[in-house]
Amino acid sequence: MGVEKISRKIINDAEAEAKEIIKKANAEAKQQIKEAEEFVKKHNEQHQIALGKAIEEKRMRYIAGVNLDIKKEILGAKREMIDKIIDDTLISITKEKKYEDFLIGMVDQAVENDSEIMLNKEDLKKNKTLIEKELKKKNIKAKISDKIINIKGGFIAKKGKITVDCTIDSIITAKHDEILMKINRLIVE
């Protein structure tokens, strides 16, 4: 019976040791599962933060793009309004007495003998006689062309290869920045 007691003790000790090993393995497994869950939770939080940042960046880029488009549309509308203001102003200028004075002054300054003067359709009808009178008064032998040019007002004087641009268009172009600044101030006020 001694062998049987020894065998039983060995078996009992082995079972106790196995239970202890299983208990430790279960505790270690629980710990590893807990660590894995914390790892997943931490990475999920980091992923959520990164995803939130990415979404916010895309949203901000979209908003910036929309704001840029809005600014472009506003700028385009301002340009259209400014162009309309300039066109309307030019039309009204050509109907005033001052415009006739402008034409006479430009004829006196720019037209020489043997020049050809080209006008737009309206000035050819309305101001041809006025210009002819001024040419005669100043004793300038120049010809008013029947050729109609596409300008807002004023004229172009040609003498051989020399062209003198006395158009309102060229004056507006030369003063463009100054005019735009003044119109912008008026629009803002």
Mean pLDDT is lowest, of 26-35, 93-102, 174-183, for 174-183
Please indicate, yes or no, whether residues 184 and 132 belong to a single structural domain of this protein.
yes
> How many CA atoms lie within 13 Å of 59's alpha carbon, on the beta-carbon side?
6
Mean pLDDT is lowest, of 110-124, 147-161, 165-179, for 165-179
Question: Of 50, 75, 93, which marks where a domain is finished?
Answer: 93
Helix (H) or strand (E) segment spanning residue 147: strand 143-148
Please indicate, yes or no, whether residues 10 and 54 belong to a single structural domain of this protein.
yes
By residue range, what is the domain housing residue 27? Answer: 1-93
Please indicate, yes or no, whether residues 105 and 171 belong to a single structural domain of this protein.
yes
Please indicate, yes or no, whether residues 58 and 128 belong to a single structural domain of this protein.
no
Query: CA-to-CA distance for 90 and 178, rounded, in angstroms?
Result: 16
Question: Of 93, 118, 150, which marks where a domain is finished?
Answer: 93
Which pLDDT score is estimated for 121?
Answer: 92
For 82-125, how does the pLDDT look when each residue is reduced to its tens digit (9 = 90+)? 778 777 887 788 888 888 888 888 888 888 888 899 999 998 89
Structure tokens at 54: 């990415």
Q: What's the pTM value of the predicted model, to 2 decimals?
A: 0.56
pLDDT band at residue 189 using 50, 70 and 90 as cut-offs: low
The answer to whether 112 touches 140, Cβ cutoff 8 Å, is yes
